[in-house]
Structure 1
Amino acid sequence: MVTPAGSLARRGNVAERPRWKQWFDEGLLERLYAFYTEIAPTLCPTPPVIIKTDGVTPDTVLAQVAGLLFDAGLTEAAGRLTTATAPARRPELDARFAATYEALGGLESFGHPFSEAIAHRGGIVQLCQLGALHRDASGHTGLWDLLAEPERGAA
């Protein structure tokens, strides 16, 4: 978790698109922060882990997560955690998703891509800031809905 002021500062304090302005409303961010830090832990049988990230490095957060995994007996998973270096540039939208991306609202609806196209169950997926697109093996492209995939239980 990051404080509302920290979240706004990390994102430049200005919404890039009109629709994104809701996520730059400090009052909304304060209510979400209060919900996740004060209310949600009391609602859950197993309270969520909250790691405050204001003023800490990614390595510090990773060390905290590794410690929690280790404490939970997941030593192998704790040992595999690594930090990733941010890409030098933002990934481009894969051309196979361009028509669907635009038809469904483009940048306004999806935000910028933050992954390259990733192979997934015989198709491909591309993750964006506000959603994800999926192209199945037959070439049908649309919103990624993992629950709608017939082989959802497959490994």
Structure 2
Amino acid sequence: MAELPRWKQWFDEGLLERLHTFYTDIAPTLCPIPPAIIDTDGATPEAVLAQVAGVLTDAGLDQTARRLTSAPAPTTRPAVDEQFVDAYTQLGGLEAFGHALTHPINHRGATVQLCQLGALHRDPAGRTRLWNPLTDPARRAA
């Protein structure tokens, strides 16, 4: 069951399948890397993290994937780190991002915190924004 009304769309398997079909079969140029579908039915937190790590590895983020799976799965939900609270709130908060999934992760001189529906990124200059790992300047420079 969706925790918030806006999240109901993410519990509609038909919608998710149609989105996947659209981005892979109908308009693949709009999304060069198709949306990942991760089956969480009956999966343990460790199994879900392993699937997310696989998606990150496929996107060229091996180091982040290793860090994500090298720590034991959390037994409690981490809070949004104070360095991200303002951006989290301004960009839509709980409804837009969901709950935090990880504590902040150091990534190529920057900091990233993964949430259920998105991720926040703070660059070395202190600017905080929605993270897109495929357009991250640190990724292009590496």
TM-score relative to the length of structure 1:
0.55
CA distance in 2, matches of 1:52, 1:110: 19
Aligned match for 2:77, one of 80, 90, 101:
90
Change (3 A) 1:86 1:23: same
CA separation of 1:152 and 1:27: change in aligned 2, threshold 3 A? closer
Task: Give a deviation string over 1:33-87, Cα, whole Å, max 9, x none.
Answer: x96xxx97xxxxxxxxx9987667777xx8xxxxxxxxxxxxxxxxxxx797431
> In the alignment, is residue 147 of structure 1 matched against residue 124 of structure 2?
no
Decide which structure has the larger Cα Rg and report it: 1
Quote the offset at 1:151 in angstroms.
Answer: 3.2
Aligned residues: 109
Structure 1 residue ranges without an equivalent (≥5): 1-13, 41-49, 63-81
**1:107 aligned onto 2:107:** no
CA pair 111-138 structure 1, distance change in 2 beyond 3 A: same
> What whole-Å deviation, never above 9, does each CA across 1:108-143 have from its counterpart, x for those lacking one?
000000011000111100000000000011100011
Is 1:134 aligned to residue 117 of structure 2?
A: no
Judged with a 3 Å threshold, the aligned counterparts in structure 2 of structure 1 residues 141 and 83 are, in CA distance, closer, same or farther, namely closer
CA distance, structure 2, for counterparts of residue 126 and residue 147 of structure 1: 16
Task: Tell me the secondary structure at the aligned position of residue 125 of structure 1.
Answer: strand
Q: What percent of counterpart residues are identical?
A: 58
User: Which residue of 2 is the match for residue 119 of structure 1?
Assistant: 106
| Matching residue's letter, 2:79 | E
Match of 2:11 among 9, 21, 24: 24
What RMSD in Å do the two structures reach over aligned CA positions?
3.6
C-alpha separation between the residues in 2 aligned to 1:51 and 1:140?
30
What's the TM-score once normalised by structure 2's chain length?
Answer: 0.60
Number of the residue aligned with 2:64: none
**Deviation at 1:96?**
0.2
SS at 2:6 equivalent: helix
